[in-house]
Amino acid sequence: MDLNTDLDNDETRKTTGATSPGHPVFCTIIPPHILDNLAQSDDPARHEPARRTLEHDHARRTRRREVAARAATPGEPGADADKPNRTIYNAGHQETLPGTKVHSESDGPSKDASVNRAHAGLGATFDFYLKAFHRKSIDGAGLALDATVHYGQKYDNAFWDGERMVFGDGDNDLFKDFTIPVDVIGHELTHGVTQYTANLDYQGQSGALNESVSDVFGSLIKQYALGQTADQADWLIGADLLGPNVTGKALRSMKAPGTAYDDDVLGKDPQPATMEGYVKTTDDNGGVHINSGIPNHAFYLVASKLGGKAWERAGQVWYDVLTGGELPKNATFADFAKLTIKAAQARFGTGDEHEAVVKAWSQVGISAK
């Protein structure tokens, strides 16, 4: 079997009930395989929050699939499209969205740290896309950014539902408050950018690319906010999210997929770094959170080879592909690789950038011929 094809994408679509093109997608930062492991714990303090989170996420994914298809098209940019317009809501530990409005763009700091972190994270993401790529909010036209904090009871996740960011407080044992890591906020909001651009199907390899793009830009948003170069970055996703009782560094590692955690309760990080370890599964829409490690690692290899500020060259190539209009919704890894090679040459010529992209895809086992 040629692993550069989409590995029975049609069959995966049948068995996972994945969303069809045009449907808004429910995207979470904590993958189901972690929650599945937690749900099997003998400790009720750990398995009960995980089981509630799994039940919630399954129900919400089902509801999202039942929503009538609609295209995500940007509006016309207004005069203030280059300024963020953030509104934060408080769910009060209920599961009704959006909750009670508690903070507007013009308000001063809140007494609620979660509100302040959500406000700052939305702003950091807005600022990154504007300054790095001249993109006005996630839709390119100044879309207002809404977020809800304190969602659910010990809800162990954060998600983008097609309209807003939603943050759980975590269980204060294995997971901290989900407003803490700015890369998690950037990751979820980038699902919105993808929704308004390539609109990658959330299944199989295209779904793994959807997840990878969010990890790539989530990491770049953190690096931009911290003023880090590629060699200074940790290339971890959610490094500030894991509680003190977890044996691990983060949810995922772009530098070394498969090494982010190895914990008695969470299990071992299952992400492969190359196509040799590609996981064929019907779980999680065809392993979108697992196989994303492969394109994640390719980006890391490009960025580390080029050095400097990763968003300026490696990130620019990935952004050009995401927004260029040539990436098919059901793209395979090979499709994406070919377009990044083309984009690198178009923007930078046949120098270091082009060479780094070609070599990176080869290193992870993707043929871009």
| CA angle, 339 then 343 then 344, to 5° | 120
| CA angle, 193 then 160 then 152, to 5° | 165
Say how far apart CA 110 and CA 86 lie, in whole Å.
Answer: 14
Given the residues 23, 150, 188, 354, the one annotated as active site: 188
Q: Are the C-beta atoms of 126 and 137 separated by less than 8 Å?
A: yes
Strands 145-149 vs 165-167: parallel, antiparallel or unpaired: parallel
Cα distances (Å, whole numbers) of residue 345 to 194, 320, 334: 23, 11, 17
Say how far apart CA 44 and CA 63 lie, in whole Å.
Answer: 28
Kindly give, in sequence order, each residue whose CB lies less than 8 Å from that of residue 236, ignoring residues fewer than 6 positions away.
Answer: 219, 249, 250, 251, 252, 253, 254, 255, 260
Q: How many CB atoms lie within 10 A of CB 62?
A: 11
Annotated active-site residue 289? The verdict is yes
Q: Residue 307's closest CA among 227, 232, 363, 219? A: 232
Say how far apart CA 38 and CA 58 lie, in whole Å.
Answer: 16
Cα distances (Å, whole numbers) of residue 153 to 52, 62, 68, 238, 322: 9, 20, 29, 21, 36
Query: How does DSSP assign 270-320, residue by residue?
Result: ---SSGGGPPP-SSHHHHTTTTTHHHHHHHHHHHHHH-S-TTTTHHHHHHH
Annotated active-site residue 23? The verdict is no
Strands 262-263 vs 165-167: parallel, antiparallel or unpaired: unpaired
Q: Are the C-beta atoms of 229 and 309 separated by less than 8 Å?
A: yes
Q: What residues act catalytically? A: 188, 289
